[in-house]
Structure 1
Amino acid sequence: MDFSKPLKIYPTAMHACAYLPGKLARNAVIDPDFDMTMSVYDYLIKSGFRRSGSQVYRPYCEGCNGCITTRIEVKKFAMSKSQKRNAKLNQDLRVVINEDGFKDKYLPLYESYLASRHDDTEAEGVQDFLAASWCDTLFVEFYDGEEMISVAAVDRLESGLSAVYTFFDPEKGGKRGLGVFAVIWQIEHAKSLGLEYVYPGYWIKECRKMNYKTRFQPLEGLVDGNWKPLEKQ
């Protein structure tokens, strides 16, 4: 890990919180001119940072510490009954790991997903959002026969896999639980690579749509600088 150059961190301006209505939020971001590497990012993700595109950040909100970064220890993970049913339902899917970057053929699927989840079809800049020039990102493609129905962007770190974003066919995603299956697949893939963790991202107790993360047990959260167990919600 190379810290021969100073690692500068800057606060962003305040903005509306995307997860808790009525709250204001801001981030602490790593200097964009810092020569980021996968080794340094692995250290930072263990310290509560994540990335959006090439920007590495962590929540830095005054009077609120609701965003908790999480990790799943893959050796201890045990599927619940519902997760076993999900894995069985999706065992027919074919998986292709693309290590060559974002493909244009992902755009229609991404736009369809945005329209169903966020009432938005603006896909401009999606490649910059999912990938970074310094980052080892896998685009995991899931196929139902010859039809690509889901894509998971996943960073491969020294200590584990970090879930960046998953998008899928809205109709089949609901029936198959493709978001859950993407995490199950990442856990099994991390295990096959001999990696310790899967980092599924931030969890906020008051945000119901994030509760699915606590169903992957045992789950740990970085609280006051220490990794502690998080209970299922």
Structure 2
Amino acid sequence: MSSPSPAGRQLQLYISTPQACDYLTDRQSQNIFISPDVTVTPSIYEYLISIGFRRSGQHTYRPHCPSCRACISSRVDVQTFNASKSQRRVLTKNKDLSVSSVQSIFSTEHYELYCRYQAFKHPGGSMESFGENEYEEFLCQSFGNSLMFETRLGEKLLAVSVTDIFGDALSAVYTFFDPEYSARSLGTFSILQQIKATQNRGKRHLYLGYYIKNSVKMAYKTNFMPLEMLIEGKWRRYTKDDELPDQSASLDSPITF
């Protein structure tokens, strides 16, 4: 199985074995992966993310389920984004916080915050049991184009957002925060800060990952309108007045490898 890159290069792909879906009950999921033998540069990955791929550490994947297309790639056009009233309230509520970027490297302070977040947000999940090495592979390893945005109250670390930087976009990889400060809506605040960082860098899009209409975990992305979604291989724009899709492509779509 292979796919052409922008230069016509064939990238070797592998498909995973079926497993229980993390987002939709009673469904099986599969992913296709770029071969680990392929050197994925930031420019190659920027192309891959534009056609629906994501990464976990240095593993690049895309959902490829035989009977389901519920995972839809999504991104925000930051040049047309306007914060909603509730989002402006989140910004006002958190005016006492500072945000800065640091290198994407292992930090004990980050790891301890990650562990508290997983125990609160995803108890019993596979990522709750990550040791330091697994955490580092998941969030500190990239294709050489990542930053970590730290949110602090004074000296206290409240949230970390792992973010990839591309030529014309940023990509939100993963955010974790202190559960004791959940009332501050730190998840929403972190996305708003990544949108701001994208705007400040003069770039066009912030990639948010997969939207799944029937998954509470993934549906929050529609709070950041207008939202662009990858449907039938083309990016389409949706506003709050539009009926949102629940499928990304038919089984025989050209986007399927």
Whether 2:25 is the aligned partner of 1:21: answer yes
Is contact 2:42-2:143 (8 Å) kept?
yes
- 1:49 partnered with 2:47: no
Q: How far apart, CA to CA, are the structure 1 residues paired with 2:192 and 2:144?
A: 22
| Residue of structure 2 equivalent to 1:195 | 203
Q: Any residues of structure 2 matched to 1:51-200 within 5 Å, and which?
A: 51-120=55-124, 121-124=128-131, 125-172=134-181, 174-200=182-208
Compute the displacement of 1:4 (Å): 7.7
Task: Specify the alignment match of 2:238 in structure 1.
Answer: 230
Percent identical among aligned pairs is 40
What is the TM-score of this pair, normalised by structure 1?
0.95
Q: Which runs of 5+ in 2 are unaligned?
A: 245-257
1:10 to 14, 17, 25: 14
2:32–2:61 CA contact under 8 A, matched in 1:
yes
The change in CA–CA distance for 1:133 and 1:84 in structure 2 (over 3 A counts) is closer
Query: Are the counterparts in 2 of residues 94 and 143 from structure 1 also a CA contact under 8 Å?
Result: yes
Query: TM-score scaled by structure 2?
Result: 0.86
Task: Establish whether residue 211 from structure 1 lines up as the match of residue 219 from structure 2.
Answer: yes
Q: In 2, are the aligned partners of 1:54 and 1:131 still within 8 Å (CA)? A: no
Change (3 A) 1:24 1:218: same
Deviation at 1:100, TM superposition (A): 4.8
- What are the Cα deviations for residues 55-105 of structure 1, in whole angstroms up to 9, with x where unaligned? 000000001110000010000001000000011111211112102523122
SS at 2:129's partner residue?
Answer: coil
CA distance in structure 2 between the aligned counterparts of 1:229 and 1:105, rounded to whole angstroms: 39
The CA deviation string for residues 100-153 of structure 1, in whole angstroms up to 9 with x for no partner, is 523122111111000001114423111111133523111111111110111111
C-alpha distance in structure 1 between counterparts of 2:206 and 2:214, whole Å: 23
Show CA shifts across 1:164-220 (max 9, x none): 110010020x21000001100001110000011000110000102222110101001
Number of equivalenced pairs: 232
Residue 4 and residue 214 in structure 1: after superposition, are their counterparts in 2 closer, same or farther (change >3 A)?
A: closer
Whichever residue aligns with residue 63 of structure 2, its letter is: P
Deviation at 1:2, TM superposition (A): 7.7
Gaps of 5+ in 1: none
CA distance in 2, matches of 1:70, 1:102: 28
Cα deviation, residue 51, structure 1? 0.2
Distance 1:133 1:168, change over 3 A: closer
Residue identity opposite 2:137 in structure 1: D
AA aligned opposite 1:122: S
User: Considering only aligned residues, what root-mean-square deviation do their CA atoms show, in Å?
Assistant: 1.6
Letter in 2 for 1:19: Y
Deviant stretches of 4+, over 6 Å: none
